[in-house]
Amino acid sequence: MAVPAALTGLFIASFLLTGAIRRFALRGGILDVPVSRSLHEQATPVGGGIAIALVFLAFAWLCRLAGSIPLHELMALTGGALVALVGLADDLWKLPLAWRLPAQFAAAVWAVWWLGNLPPIDFYFFAVSNFFILDVLAVLALVWLLNLYNFMDGIDGLAAAQLVFVNLLGFVIAVSADDAALGLLNAGLGTAALGFLVWNWPPARIFMGDAGSNFIGFALGVLALLSMQHDSMTVWTWLLLLGVFVTDATVTLIRRVARGEKWFEGHCCHAYQHAAKRCGSHRRVTLVILAMNCCWLAPLAWWTVIQPQWGMPLALAGLAPLVAGSLWMGAGVPAGEQGR
């Protein structure tokens, strides 16, 4: 397979398909209408992230046909189709959690089953090697990550730009480790995101929607598991690459649960949402987070690849300032109650 040509076609397909979805959404009235907690001021088409899912899964199938990735890895990724469909249904009809969560767990179990035994996780002082425990942790991590990514898709350009960053670093690391399959999949997912980002960059002309954000979280989780099986990256590498999203979403969730709020209901209490309100610019917040990724998290993530035995300490050192920053920005606390 001619990789440059395939990636160019992937970008064009993602760009054109996103534009087509936008036109369809405008004609069909599939819009995200602003409410009191919204950070946008006008009704905007939603569901554009389905373009990322469709073109990336098509790319993965092409990779399989070309013999570039094994069947079991492709089948694990196809669990994302269910995640995307349920997310799209939620975009259209607002499905209750009782419908969404079982489907998400089913997709996660499907992926972990196809991937087979996962490698041990090194926690520095000890390692977890029990296959059953590792499989349970993997399923829980996939469900958490796809919801986490959905939580963090709240301002223009952020979720797609973060995906491009993660996949770019994932591609570089995979190439340095001679992991061609992982490199191809990272390049494909990042390129699909880039085609969508042209439409989603502030001010966004279409939103990703749950169809896209849930699929992306799931796909990244599967790529993380693949990289661990290939011995190219560790769980700590991925925690650092996704550090801003992991810390903001987790701190926000914990504080909302501690306050007795329903964690699954919509809100605008994330640190990045408070930051967007304070500076009045989605673009500035997205650029600052990208700068943090490049200047702070990327070097530490690379270090965990070079010295995997130091993965956990490096991850803790890298995430600690982000946790402090999330708390300082009031993650999990409504804007009117900060400082009380």
pLDDT at 34: 80
Q: At residue 339, does pLDDT exceed 90?
A: no
The span from the CA of 87 to the CA of 31, in Å, is 15
Give tens-digit pLDDT for 126-164. 999 999 999 999 999 999 999 999 999 999 999 999 999
Q: At residue 340, does pLDDT exceed 60?
A: no
pLDDT at 224: 98
Q: What is the pTM of this model?
A: 0.96
pLDDT at 338: 60
Amino acid found at 70 = P
pLDDT at 265: 76
pLDDT at 337: 66
Give tens-digit pLDDT for 119-136. 999 999 999 999 999 999
Give tens-digit pLDDT for 191-233. 999 999 999 999 999 999 999 999 999 999 999 999 999 999 9
* Of 85, 152, 163, the residue nearest 326 (C-alpha): 152
The span from the CA of 325 to the CA of 270, in Å, is 11
The span from the CA of 68 to the CA of 182, in Å, is 10
Q: 127: part of which helix (H) or strand (E)?
A: strand 127-128
Average pLDDT, the chain: 94
290 — pLDDT class (breaks 50, 70, 90): very high
Cβ neighbours around 217 below 10 Å, total? 30
Q: Which of 65-79, 258-272, 309-323 has the lowest mean pLDDT?
A: 258-272
How big is the CA angle at 108 (ends 261 and 235), to the nearest 5 degrees? 85
